[in-house]
């Protein structure tokens, strides 16, 4: 909260200076601060203001970045069609401007949205494309999420063996990089795939660990996936 107060002060100062680039930066930083507090609607308001400034400056890279973050925010709210459109637009602009890292991260978000919409084949294709970008950039940390969405897409298509291999790879990378925030989602995904193959006891072990890890998570989507996986597993016992 204290950090957000400082960001709000900085935003007011940049507006008084009539400095659009600094104002856009402060708006984006404040949006991310609100995100961490779970204030998604406030996040969207600040990002939309930042988007308008980016357009007024004809800064296509920052416009793409704002759209990518808006896509993530609407995904968190469950407004999936809007999240899909914004993520697609961000990805197109990232490719056009040579913003390679954003190209990969927007593909990753897009694949998650596609999974949530039940577009499993599209999600698999998109996640594979994201992994190609991340491998080229040696972005192992970003690849973890893409691997989990790939596994979800494969699971939705009924390709359980490959889904299990991909999510196990993601868990291994996550543990090696010491990324506890990503672990609940990965364990929930692994539990679901194990459940699909009849390995209920193994799935239960993943669920117990995922629930313990999810207590520390601030990501509502991750927690929801964990509790859904837990419900399915306990029902199968």
**Residue range 189-193: mean pLDDT, rounded:** 95
3-class secondary-structure state, position 16: helix
Q: Is the pLDDT of residue 1 over 60?
A: no
Q: What is the CA radius of gyration of the chain?
A: 19
d(CA 217, CA 225): 12
Domain assignment present for residue 42? The answer is: yes
Q: 20-50 pLDDT, tens per residue? A: 888 888 889 889 888 878 889 999 999 999 9
Residue given tokens 């063996």 in the structure block: 161
Entry pTM:
0.89
Mean pLDDT calculated for residue range 211-233: 87
- Cβ(143)–Cβ(172) under 8 Å? no
Task: Write down the mean pLDDT value for the chain.
Answer: 92
What pLDDT does residue 210 have? 95
222 pLDDT tier (thresholds 50, 70, 90)? confident
Indicate the length of the chain as a whole number.
237
Whether 3 has a pLDDT exceeding 80, the answer reads: no
Q: What is the mean pLDDT of residues 66-74?
A: 97
pLDDT at 181 (0 to 100): 85
Residue 32 maps to a domain: yes
CA separation for the pair 4, 2 (Å, rounded): 5
**What is the rounded distance in angstroms from the CA atom of residue 163 to the CA atom of residue 194?**
10
Residue 108 has a pLDDT of 98
With a CB cutoff of 8 Å and minimum separation 6, the contacts of 179 are: 141, 144
Q: What angle do CA 115, 117, 123 make, to 5 degrees?
A: 35
**pLDDT band at 182, cuts 50/70/90?**
confident
In a domain, 63, yes or no: no
In degrees rounded to 5, what are phi and psi of residue 176?
-65, -35
Please indicate, yes or no, if residue 166 is contained in any of the structural domains.
no
Identify the domain containing residue 40 by its residue range: 1-58
* DSSP string over 188-235: HHHHHHHHHTT-HHHHHHHHHHHHHHHTT---HHHHHHHHHHHHHHHH
Structural domains in the chain (count):
1
Q: What is the pLDDT of residue 90?
A: 98
Banded model confidence at residue 2, pLDDT cuts 50, 70, 90? low
Q: Position of tokens 């961000």?
A: 90
How many Å apart are CA 14 and CA 57, to the nearest integer? Answer: 15
Q: Which of 56-65, 118-127, 173-182, 193-202 has the lowest mean pLDDT?
A: 173-182
Taking alpha carbons only, the member of 62, 42, 43 closest to residue 52 is 62
**Quick one: pLDDT at residue 116?**
95
Report yes or no on 105 lying in a domain: no
Domain for residue 10, yes or no? yes
Mean pLDDT computed over 4-27: 74
Whether 65 and 73 have beta carbons less than 8 Å apart is answered as no
Residue 7 lies in a domain: yes
In a domain, 15, yes or no: yes
Q: What's 46-89 look like in SS3?
A: HHHHHHHHHHHCCCHHHHHHHHHHHHHHHHHHCCHHHHHHHHHH
Query: pLDDT, tens digit, for every residue of 129-150?
Result: 999 999 999 999 999 999 999 9
- Position 52 pLDDT exceeds 70: yes
């Amino acid at each position: 909260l204290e950090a957000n107060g400082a960001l709000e002060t900085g935003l007011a100062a940049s507006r008084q200076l009539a400095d659009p680039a600094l104002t856009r930066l402060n708006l984006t930083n404040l949006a991310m601060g609100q995100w961490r507090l779970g204030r998604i609607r406030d996040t969207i308001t600040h990002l939309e203001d930042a988007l308008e400034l980016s357009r007024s400056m004809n800064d296509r890279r920052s416009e793409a970045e704002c759209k990518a973050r808006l896509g993530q925010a609407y995904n968190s709210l469950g407004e999936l069609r809007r999240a899909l459109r914004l993520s697609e637009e961000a990805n197109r602009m990232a490719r056009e401007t040579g913003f390679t890292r954003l190209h990969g991260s927007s593909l990753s978000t897009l694949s998650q949205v596609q999974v949530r919409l039940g577009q499993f084949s599209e999600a698999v294709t998109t996640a594979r494309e994201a992994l190609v970008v991340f491998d080229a950039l040696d972005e192992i940390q970003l690849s973890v999420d893409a691997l989990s969405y790939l596994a979800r897409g494969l699971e939705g298509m009924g390709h359980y063996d490959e889904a299990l291999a991909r999510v196990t790879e993601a868990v291994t990378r996550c543990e090696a990089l010491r990324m506890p925030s990503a672990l609940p989602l990965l364990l929930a995904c692994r539990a679901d795939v194990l459940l699909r193959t009849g390995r209920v006891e193994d799935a239960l072990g993943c669920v117990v660990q995922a629930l313990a890890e999810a207590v520390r998570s601030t990501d509502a989507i991750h927690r929801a996936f964990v509790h859904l996986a837990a419900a399915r597993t306990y029902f199968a016992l």
